Amino acid sequence: MTTCLRCGRGLRAPSSVARGYGSSCWKVVGRAACSLLESSNKAAHKAAALLLDGGVRRTRMAGVYLVPSSSDSNVVYLCDRYACACRAGGCGRLCYHRVAVTILSKRS
Ligand SMILES: [Zn+2]
Ligand SMILES: [Zn+2]
């Protein structure tokens, strides 16, 4: 069964399955992605694409996600809101993976 990328609950409605999010989570994630797209920052656009096009996968650990590399789709990074396994993350920079994951793991 397809589960919501944000909360992990099972998705039944075809529109929710297509989006990858339940309707209440989509309100949060879709709004956040739209405001990222309004920014002129390239990294913000990449984070929005991760949220909208999927590619991010949940793990068994709450708040920890597998995020695909933009340069090599065979590479995935383990990422949570505090750290990311990608090169920028290793340098302590805030990468767009973390921007996307922070939105996904935010509880409102
Ligand atoms: Zn959800
Ligand atoms: Zn990263």
Cα of 3 from ligand 2 centre, angstroms: 23
User: What is the Å distance from ligand 2's center to 29 Cα?
Assistant: 19
**How many C-beta atoms lie closer than 10 Å to residue 45's C-beta?**
16
pLDDT tens-digit map of 46-90 = 999 999 987 899 999 989 999 999 888 789 999 999 999 999 999
Residue-wise pLDDT for 18-53, tens only, equals 999 999 999 999 999 999 999 999 999 999 999 998
Report the distance separating Cα 84 and Cα 11, nearest Å: 28
Ligand nearest to the CA of 27: 1
Ligand 1 centroid distance, CA of 69 (Å)? 24
